[in-house]
Chains A and B, each alone.
Chain A
């Protein structure tokens, strides 16, 4: 990690910095105005200064309305600017490379789709949208990469997502920024942004025995999921082929998309969003399947969906 000041190294970070510098410029101007007027007045109108103090401004409301509406206008402008960026940067683009992140006291565990795992390190290719699907095994953590100008809380019991696109290669800090107990300050790591060929080399060098989906297929049998969701027994339980990414009609009449969040909740809380036409037979797996296993199960389900073009 070289240097003291790290310019934004992500596509959204560059835009965030523009707003930051604009805010800084406005703030400096207002500070100069306030400190300048204060200095001017206390010197000019100090007790003992013989200056003329006659003809005080009588109609104070003219000033009041002027500075109130000026403030309001500037603030509204800043709000619109920040909100526009937030809304645009909030949605990950389709086709992002999806990685799983599990936080626990006090380390980050990262899983790549092909099965590569790393701890307190994140290897990613440059100029590629990356989407992180994050969860925690214990308390609330926060996944923050200052150089990318992004951070997001990582909560236990649910999936939160965070996406970015690195624009420069290099090593960058990864911090946990939500206080999470004794070794909070040690829950740090490195983000290694690599060129596409380097990234491919890294993937090959780290290639594991099995992919996440393969590991998930094993779990699918071990946890007994296959007993109901497989083969001829589909009367009791919905078929899972082609499920991932498709719409699911629910018992209460709503439609949801079977994304990572839905699949996780369906395993942990089967009665919460039950598929229309099925009886509440499935037991809850809350507390019985670890977060990493859940990711593998979902990867397996994903592999059973026909590969389709992401919008």
Chain B
């Protein structure tokens, strides 16, 4: 088997070389993100259906969302994509020490996002914006459905973000262990792709939850 596993120790026996393996891993992540689009797509589709059905309720509900926290979180998430991408650029020229720093910054930003989101949830809870008995906007049909989407969409996004933070931590560990080099740091590239996607999902959620209808 030794002759089969020739080349870099990370190359699986089904691959010709490192390049072949790295590219395949990236294509794999792209395809996974395609499935994620369909996953969130189903939720957004249901959101659209009910938005058309209950326009007034949705607009009333949007006005109760905390646009300040939403906007700060958008900025935080965009910055985190920047730090991670910068780290990947540095990794490509072999600066593994700075890749670790960039990853740590990314994780910190991700945690800040989660922290602010938690503050927002607590606030919503105090304002009785939780669907069910005692819901503040119970008089407005559709507002409850909006909040259901609010919690499921942001909740599922948060789970994705938490997984992302875990993956970045894994990259930090492997980089520190000396597994990566300018030539081989495919897992970091794959995680970077995933992180950017989680970021993009938020860019769709942000206007749908905080903005559309607020002006009118």
Residues of A bordering B, CB below 8 Å: 269, 271, 284
Contact = CB atoms under 8 A, between A and B. Distances in A.
Interface of B: 56, 141
A279 B56 CA distance: 15
A237 to B, nearest CB: 20
Contacts of A271: 56, 141
Contacts of B56: 271
The SS class assigned to the A binding surface is loop
Nearest to B140: A271
A7 B99 CA distance: 78
Contacts of B141: 269, 271, 284
A271 B56 CA distance: 10
A192 B111 CA distance: 70
4 contacts: A269-B141, A271-B56, A271-B141, A284-B141
A24 B56 CA distance: 52
A269 B53 CA distance: 12
B129 to A, nearest CB: 21
The 4 closest A-B pairs by CB, nearest first: A269-B141, A271-B56, A284-B141, A271-B141
Nearest to B56: A271
Nearest to A284: B141
A284 B141 CA distance: 10
A284 B56 CA distance: 15
Nearest to B57: A271
A17 B141 CA distance: 46
A269 B54 CA distance: 11
A281 to B, nearest CB: 13
A238 to B, nearest CB: 20
A165 B56 CA distance: 43
A279 to B, nearest CB: 14
A183 to B, nearest CB: 31
A8 B141 CA distance: 46
A269 B141 CA distance: 9
Contacts of A269: 141
Contacts of A284: 141
Nearest to B53: A272
Nearest to A286: B141
A282 to B, nearest CB: 13
B146 to A, nearest CB: 16
A163 B110 CA distance: 60
A53 to B, nearest CB: 40
B123 to A, nearest CB: 29
B101 to A, nearest CB: 56
A302 B141 CA distance: 28
B37 to A, nearest CB: 31
A214 to B, nearest CB: 32
A271 B57 CA distance: 11
B154 to A, nearest CB: 28
A271 B139 CA distance: 12
A255 to B, nearest CB: 20
B135 to A, nearest CB: 15
